[in-house]
Structure formats: C-alpha cells, structure tokens
A and B are shown apart, each in its own frame.
Chain A
Amino acid sequence: DGGITQSPKYLFRKEGQNVTLSCEQNLNHDAMYWYRQDPGQGLRLIYYSQIVNDFQKGDIAEGYSVSREKKESFPLTVTSAQKNPTAFYLCASSLRGQFNQPQHFGDGTRLSIL
C-alpha cells in the first residue's frame, strides 16, 4: 500500500542535542512538507520541497534543517537552536502543481524534551 511513514512515533531530546525525524513516502509525489502542530494552533509550515535537491523555508524554519537527496525521503533535523521543540511533527506529500490535489500526511512524531 502507498503511504507516508514517519519514525519514530515518539522522540525525546536532551538539552543541546540535535535530533532527526524520518519521513519516507512511496506515493511517487514530488512535493513534501514538514509541519509543526501545537495545541490550539493551526499547522505551521517549517520547510517544504517541490523537487529533489531543492527546498524552501516555511513560516517557522529557525532552529530546523532539512535535506532532499531522494524523492522518497525528506528528513527533518531539530537542532539545539530550537529552544521550544516540544510539539507534534507532521510530514506530508502531494503532487506538484496540481492545486486540487490534497496533501497526504504521515502519522506524526511527538517530540518532547527530557
């Protein structure tokens, strides 16, 4: 079955540590996205990528980094510069340039600070 796989489901970060969240899709989608979800707020875009080897900052990119070396994979690193990383992180993908097509989401990674 096609879909988006995020791992791990739960992640704990120590002070000063970088952690990487995995996102893999087998939907053959060109575009991939990372969102952060906090209680009482809408999804906020961290980074997105329309094609391999290219990505753009979203609204809250500070303290995060990404790479897009393969079409299927879009890992997100939460760096020590992100002072408030506790949140639910969602990865999504979609067909590029087809505006009526929805984004498909993974099951999310819940990140907490130790």
Chain B
Amino acid sequence: GQNIDQPTEMTATEGAIVQINCTYQTSGFNGLFWYQQHAGEAPTFLSYNVLDGLEEKGRFSSFLSRSKGYSYLLLKELQMKDSASYLCAVRDRNSNYQLIWGAGTKLIIKP
C-alpha cells in the first residue's frame, strides 16, 4: 500500500536550522514535492525532487533518497514567518500519477 510519514510537530529557535523528515512507501514513485501551508491558507510549492540528491533553493533545501524511501526539507536561518505546516507529497504511477499526501509537520518557531 501507500504510506507517507512525517513528524506531527517540531519546535525550533529563530535563526537556527531545522530538518523535517518524510518517509514514504509506494511501489510507483514518480517524484516528491514539499509544500508550505500557513494556518487556514493555501499550500504553496517549495521544492521538487525526482532524482537522488540535494536541491537547494535559497534558505530551503530538499534531499531525496529513493532507495531508502526518504526525503527531508532543511530550513536555514529560521524566521518567525517560517512557522507553518510543511507537507510532503509523493506522485505515484500506480495511482494514475496523482499525489499522495502526508499529514504535514507543524513547525513552531520560538524567539
């Protein structure tokens, strides 16, 4: 079956670095997306990985290991506005290429 696991909640300090993990189990992996969602708002796209390795985009980086079914989102120089939920989604060939979503990780930034 399909399964995506993320920690429910994490806390970090302003200015620090945090790593949010995502593990997945799917037989038809075809890419992984990370989204940011502030409470009550729309998810916004952060990053996309389909090959193993690190994709860097400013303060945010995303890593993928297909053999381990594992990804992480790395946020550097944390700002208060980074307090949000971070959603991991996997595209599955065996689900007509639709996205399978994790429940999201709520990140709380403290001063």
A binding-site residues for B, Cβ under 8 Å: 35, 40-45, 48, 56, 58, 88, 90, 99-100, 102-108, 110
Contact = CB atoms under 8 A, between A and B. Distances in A.
B53 to A, nearest CB: 15
Contacts, number: 51
6 contacts: A42-B103, A43-B43, A56-B96, A88-B40, A100-B31, A104-B45
B41 A107 contact: yes
A49 to B, nearest CB: 12
A107 B97 CA distance: 24
B99 to A, nearest CB: 7
A40 B103 contact: yes
Interface in B47-105: 48, 50, 87, 89, 91, 96-104
Given A102-B33, A105-B43, A106-B42, A43 B101 contact: yes
Contacts of A100: 31, 48, 50
Interface residues of B, number: 26
B106 to A, nearest CB: 10
Nearest to A97: B97
B50 A102 contact: no
B98 A90 contact: no
B16 to A, nearest CB: 26
A42 B87 contact: yes
A48 B98 contact: yes
Given A40-B103, A42-B103, A99-B30, A105 B42 contact: yes
Contacts of A88: 40
Contacts of A48: 98
B12 interface: no
A104 B45 CA distance: 7
Given A99-B31, A99-B91, A102-B48, A42 B102 contact: yes
Contacts of A99: 30-31, 50, 91, 97
B61 to A, nearest CB: 17
B45 A102 contact: yes
